[in-house]
Amino acid sequence: MAGVKTWVVIWAMSLPAVALAQPYTSVGGNFTVNEKRGCAPLTITLNTGALCVGACNVRYENETPSPTFTHTFNTPGTYEVRVFFPNFQDFITVTVEPNITPAVELYSCGGRRVRVNVTDQTYDSYSINLGDGNTVAIPSGTHPSIEHTYAAAGNYTIRVRGRNVDGAFNCTERVLPFSAVNTLPPGTIQGLTTASASQIDLALNPDPAIQYRLEIATNGTAGFQTVRTIYQATATTLSNLNTDQNFYCFRIGTFDPCANAVVAYSPVICSHRFTLTLTNGSNNLAWTIPNTGIAANQTRIERVEPDNNNNSLTRVVPGIPTSFTDVDITCNINYCYRVITRYTNGSTSTSAPRCGVSFVTRALPPIINTSAVVDAAGATLLWQPPSALADRYTVSRRSGNAPFQPLAETTSPNFLDDGYQTEIPFCYRIGYGDACANTAAPGGVVCPLRLTARPQAGTEVALAWSGYKGWNNGVRNYRIERYDGQGNLINILPPLAANDTVFVDDDDENQLITYRVEATAVQAGLPVSYSNSVTIRKEPRLITPTAFTPNNDNLNDTFAVFGKYIERMQLHVFDRWGNTVFFTDNNEPWDGTLRGQPLPESAYVWRATVVDKTGQTVTKTGTVALMRK
């Protein structure tokens, strides 16, 4: 007992005699029990002496009395144990208490010392077995404690058991391993995480029997102040901080309660004062943290992209940096960053996350080359993307000199305006923007080719078209395509100059002909533009003499109707009274006779019913003079 402080010995000597009253006598003094108070489970044994030479029965709880003189109480409570003698009864009260393991704190001190602090107040007294052959009993109170010095450093087992007055020594003991050391070691802060603008979380690796003092310093590693006591805690949180404006440094001091002094300090670990600044095309990270104890080439930047399934992109920055510029970004992405600094002792400091939506500002060239193809579906606009960054296109349209109005949006470098009408002077303009919300200047004006055609005298057709607008360097030439009634290409006329917008075509072979104008750009590689198609149907041309002389002189002896674009024809000739004097449906000539007899000189009316090359029926009439001279 030499290692235990003297005042504890005095306490032990003043304790009530907790076990000297055994055995305990019943109310009538007719029997005794070995225990009348204790923790569950509590086993008692009765002794009735010579009074139970005959049959005796005992009732311990609410069961039927039995001749058993030993019983175990498993449930806490107060019980009347009654003995039924042959001619009388006697009883004793047994108290069974909850079996509570005492709450005990062990504090390691230098010089192989230990302080045992009993924080429990359940029992009247406590027995402390120090594991080296010494046992001390102390009364209950407000954190009663003892100090003990071991003869040698090493591992011991300390056992603390509670006991009440008149109680059995059967309550569960607290078993605590303890290492007696000559010198208390410094502690370690394993990790620091800045959780928010006001909170820092510390991860600790404490010795279970050592008490620590947590200290903090603001914006430096001097002027530490104690903020709290740490005992058997693997984590602690500090609130009401301002981590946006300050960085904080921490250390834990190993406290020797026997000497009432801090005897060793852990390495210092600090938080980051971390900022994120977004600039055009880059996200700039900067942080302040004292570099004492920081391992070189161990600073990590973690970047999290929500659009990338929250996968973390980690980069190790060489040296002991205090800034990092991230240029590997995509605009309109909310990037979140953390800085993780590793110390040479393996501890890590993790900053609070800083998030921001990146942006890229750039000038986009306008769309200056657009081709236009007009067909039955409408006007299709085709343009070359001026930038690989184009994300969306806007198509605007105007009629004549009216202002441009938004028409549509598209993600493809082409657009079909199915509401295009050749008779309306529609023009277009293409704009675009990129994924970074940058918008190009309005593109060049695009006016599709508008072709018109009118039949002229004979077989001629007058063509006219609007000059094409849409190419920055203008039109190289125009070419006229000619198609027959079945849509087959007849030919393409020789190129016309860029300032030629009219042409007269004379084709006497095709009654039905379709024209389309093709424009070619000066700049190579641009798609050609096409006008609308115009189909012209030429009327059948009938050639008829106004007189004939059937006198067999082989000059103008017959009358016949001829013409262009005739598929078949019926010819009737009538006299002045309307009688048919001649009919043919195979284009035979009339020789001026009726049933072989010459008809008199006169003016005769003819009617030709013609089916032309297009299948249309046309009726023409006229007069012809029959002369015999």
- Which of 144, 146, 143 shows the shortest CA–CA distance to 129? 146
| Same domain, yes or no: 166 and 215 | no
| Same domain, yes or no: 124 and 6 | yes
Please indicate, yes or no, if residue 369 is contained in any of the structural domains.
no
CATH number at residue 489: 2.60.40.10
- Which of 262, 264, 263, 268 shows the shortest CA–CA distance to 250? 268
Helix (H, G, I), strand (E, B) or coil at 299: strand
Last residue of a domain, one of 357, 392, 425: 357
| Same domain, yes or no: 212 and 225 | yes
- Which of 467, 431, 449 shows the shortest CA–CA distance to 372? 449
Residue 603's identity, in one-letter code, is A
Please indicate, yes or no, if residue 343 is contained in any of the structural domains.
yes
E strand residue ranges, 150-239: 154-163, 174-180, 189-194, 200-204, 211-218, 225-231, 235-238
566 forms beta bridges with 612
pTM (global) more than 0.85: no
**541 near 564, Cβ under 8 Å?**
yes
| Same domain, yes or no: 44 and 92 | yes
| Same domain, yes or no: 557 and 621 | yes
Please indicate, yes or no, if residue 526 is contained in any of the structural domains.
yes
What is the per-residue pLDDT for 315?
87
Q: Is the dihedral of CA 621, 627, 628, 629 positive or negative?
A: negative
| Same domain, yes or no: 506 and 582 | no
Last residue of a domain, one of 513, 537, 561: 537
What is the per-residue pLDDT for 55?
83
Please indicate, yes or no, if residue 371 is contained in any of the structural domains.
no
What is the per-residue pLDDT for 21?
58
Please indicate, yes or no, if residue 44 is contained in any of the structural domains.
yes
Lowest mean pLDDT among 5-9, 355-359, 565-569, 625-629: 5-9
Helix (H, G, I), strand (E, B) or coil at 175: strand
Please indicate, yes or no, if residue 307 is contained in any of the structural domains.
yes
| Same domain, yes or no: 573 and 586 | yes
Please indicate, yes or no, if residue 341 is contained in any of the structural domains.
yes
Over residues 86-91, mean pLDDT: 93
Instruction: Give the span between the Cα atoms of 140 and 124, in whole angstroms.
Output: 5
Structure tokens at 610: 């013609």
Q: Residue 459: which pLDDT band, with cuts at 50, 70 and 90?
A: confident
Residue 522 has pLDDT above 50, yes or no: yes
| Same domain, yes or no: 504 and 599 | no
Please indicate, yes or no, if residue 504 is contained in any of the structural domains.
yes
| Same domain, yes or no: 66 and 9 | yes
What is the per-residue pLDDT for 54?
66
Total domains in the fold of the chain = 6
Helix (H, G, I), strand (E, B) or coil at 23: coil
Q: Residue 144: which pLDDT band, with cuts at 50, 70 and 90?
A: confident
Residue 11 has pLDDT above 60, yes or no: no
| Same domain, yes or no: 320 and 287 | yes
What is the per-residue pLDDT for 310?
59
Residue 610 has pLDDT above 50, yes or no: yes
Residue 542 has pLDDT above 90, yes or no: no
- Counting residues of the chain whose pLDDT is more than 70, the rounded percentage is 96
| Same domain, yes or no: 141 and 17 | yes
Q: Residue 143: which pLDDT band, with cuts at 50, 70 and 90?
A: confident
Eight-class DSSP state of 152? S
What is the per-residue pLDDT for 308?
59
Instruction: Give the span between the Cα atoms of 132 and 8, in whole angstroms.
Output: 17
315 forms beta bridges with 301
| Same domain, yes or no: 76 and 27 | yes
Q: Using one digit for the tens of pLDDT, what is the confidence trace for 301-346?
A: 999 876 556 567 888 998 999 999 999 998 888 999 999 999 999 9
Q: Which domain holds residue 394?
A: 380-444
The most confident of the ranges 90-104, 311-325, 497-511, 544-558 is: 90-104
